[in-house]
Structure 1
Amino acid sequence: MRTQPAEITSLADAVKDLVHDGDTVALEGFTHLIPVAAGQEIIRQRKRDLTLVRMTPDIVYDQLIGAGCARKLIFSWGGNPGVGSLHRFREAVQTHELEIEEHSHAGMANRYVAAASHLPFAILRGYNGTSLPEHTDTIKPITCPFTGEQLTAVPALDLDVGIIHAQQADRKGNVQLWGQTGVQKETVLGAKRSLVTVEEIVDELEPKPNAVVLPRWVVTRVAHVPGGAKPSYAQDYYERDNQAYKAWDAISKDRERFAAWMETL
């Protein structure tokens, strides 16, 4: 267990040091606190051959895929929420430039939990009666040794890097996030290396109702990135930019417009 404070560095340095070509990387956040700035820094640094993991890949994953960063995507749902398709993602699949591994939400959540718990796999009932096991090699039947019931096993996610966004960190590297959270805690706990971008560095964390606190010894790097979740929202800091999601549909649909957007990073 690490006892030293998590290192606080710039976003550029954190991505340079933590994310390597060929890594398996998760950028997690559910509806809000999506680590968009970190994803765009990965694009700027031209990381390649990544296996990207996320329960609900949205526009930042469309950007990563369109920029050529990804070799494979492990996910359970993908889309531009409230708008429609992810066009760079769609084209990469249709042209066989991107390998996909599809799970249910429950399957992905259980894979994160297994990794965070240092277990080799998770067991659930959720895939019984579905066709996903016919298409995804990482879904296997397993028999309960106590009851004989047929269940399903999914392997723990083998994450090289887990990246999340949070509201606050203190100067020692302890992190606090609150509001609607997903598998951010499990992403950090289950990864070999972790990066948390935050809205604010404070002298001391003040307890919040139902907040998630990640102690400094489970976090590798912290980067101060105000607005790092935009255009998603960060509770108590800023609201979701719905127009940005709508605008992305037209940008990602057209190759030339996407290339022009890339030049703005």
Structure 2
Amino acid sequence: MPDKLMTIDEAVSSIESRMTIGIGGWGSRRKPMALVRALLRTDITDLTVVAFGGPDVGLLAAAGRIRRLVYGFVTLDSIPLDPLFTQARERGDLEIEEYDEGMFVAGLRAAAQRLEFLPIRAGLGSDVLPANPHLRTVASPYGDDVYVAMPALPLDVSLVHMNRVDERGNAQFLGPDPYFDDLFAMASQRTIVSAEKVVPTENLLDEGSFHTMLFSRMYVDGVVEAPNGAHFTGCEPDYDRDEAFQRHYAAAAKDPAAWAAFAETFLGIDETAYQAAVARFHASQGES
């Protein structure tokens, strides 16, 4: 079996402008932030981003990398809205498609099954249909019911962060929720997995049962070992969300001068330098 291990920069080097990128995780939980930070160090632009968004969307939007955003929500969880995303939307910087969460998942499932759409009840009688005039309904061939024909959300590349992975791409989550990362992988032409730790295949079940094996190597093209790679989002049980740093991010995002200082300190640097800057931040706050 091929070894799919690569560096962060190697992993994102094959991503091109105008691609459709799926980003796994959920809000401010288990986001592939090391890969997102690597994208920010490139000149990639005009992306279509498909996500249950959090700071991944906020950072990419603020950097002008997103042309079109397809999403169910964008939140920091303990902070209701990501301020960078809010600003970008209010400025009209983004083409947007906002869906009910059930519709969003149906779109990923359709793409995973290589279907053009899936029928779904979610969205009927809501503002989702008038807000997305391209949506169509479909009549049941077996009865009188009418459904929303949720179009597939096919992806060029998916970025996901897991707790453990082997060098072949067998991916494991150990936290409370898979966050639909398996659907992102199956809906995509290529998937890049970053993980807290790359382990030998024979050790994948040391910390969890086979139920925690979220998806197999057949869906994975690149594997990156990225300890603390979801920071500042959480990656349970390895670590919780860094609430102090998230508050710092959100506060800085609301002030241009503060954001310029934040970006100079934490963005545009490699991952090792980023993690060191985060450690200095916590030391300055009197934390260990």
Normalising by structure 2, what TM-score?
A: 0.85
Q: Is the 8 A contact 2:170 2:213 kept in 1?
A: no
SS of equivalent to 2:80: coil
Return the letter of the residue paired with 1:231: F
Shift in Å, 1:62: 0.6
Deviations 1:75-98 (A, max 9, x none): 111223222332222222222211
Q: Is the 8 A contact 1:6 1:217 kept in 2?
A: no
Taking every aligned residue pair, what percent have the same amino acid on both sides?
26
Shift in Å, 1:73: 0.8
Q: Is the 8 A contact 1:138 1:154 kept in 2?
A: no
Q: Distance in 2 between matches of 1:84 and 1:186?
A: 25
Q: Is the 8 A contact 2:19 2:47 kept in 1?
A: yes
Q: Which protein, 1 or 2, shows the higher relative CO under an 8 Å CA cutoff with sep ≥ 6? A: 1
Greater fraction helix = 2
Q: Is the 8 A contact 1:35 1:163 kept in 2?
A: yes
Q: Is the 8 A contact 1:199 1:227 kept in 2?
A: yes
Shift in Å, 1:5: 2.9
Q: Distance in 2 between matches of 1:130 and 1:211?
A: 36
CA-based RMSD of the aligned residues comes to: 1.6
State the partner residue of 2:70: 74
Return the letter of the residue paired with 1:163: L
Query: Which one of the candidate residues 105, 112, 115 is aligned to 1:116?
Result: 112
TM alignment of 1:35-114, pairs within 5 A: 35-55=32-52, 57-114=53-110
Q: Distance in 1 between matches of 2:243 and 2:186?
A: 31
Structure 1 range deviating more: 195-204 or 23-32 = 23-32
Return the letter of the residue paired with 1:58: G
Question: Is structure 2 residue 223 aligned with structure 1 residue 226?
Answer: no
Q: Distance in 1 between matches of 2:71 and 2:57?
A: 11
Question: Is structure 2 residue 10 aligned with structure 1 residue 9?
Answer: no
Query: Which one of the candidate residues 117, 125, 133 is aligned to 1:137?
Result: 133
Query: Which one of the candidate residues 195, 200, 204 is aligned to 1:203?
Result: 200
Q: Is the 8 A contact 2:168 2:223 kept in 1?
A: no
Call closer, same or farther: CA 1:111–1:74 in 2, change over 3 Å.
Answer: same
Call closer, same or farther: CA 1:25–1:185 in 2, change over 3 Å.
Answer: same
Shift in Å, 1:53: 0.8
Shift in Å, 1:25: 0.5
Structure 2 unaligned residues grouped into runs of 5+: 268-288
Deviations 1:218-257 (A, max 9, x none): 1010011111111222223112211122222211111222
Question: Is structure 2 residue 250 aligned with structure 1 residue 249?
Answer: yes
Shift in Å, 1:6: 5.5
Report the count of equivalent residues.
260
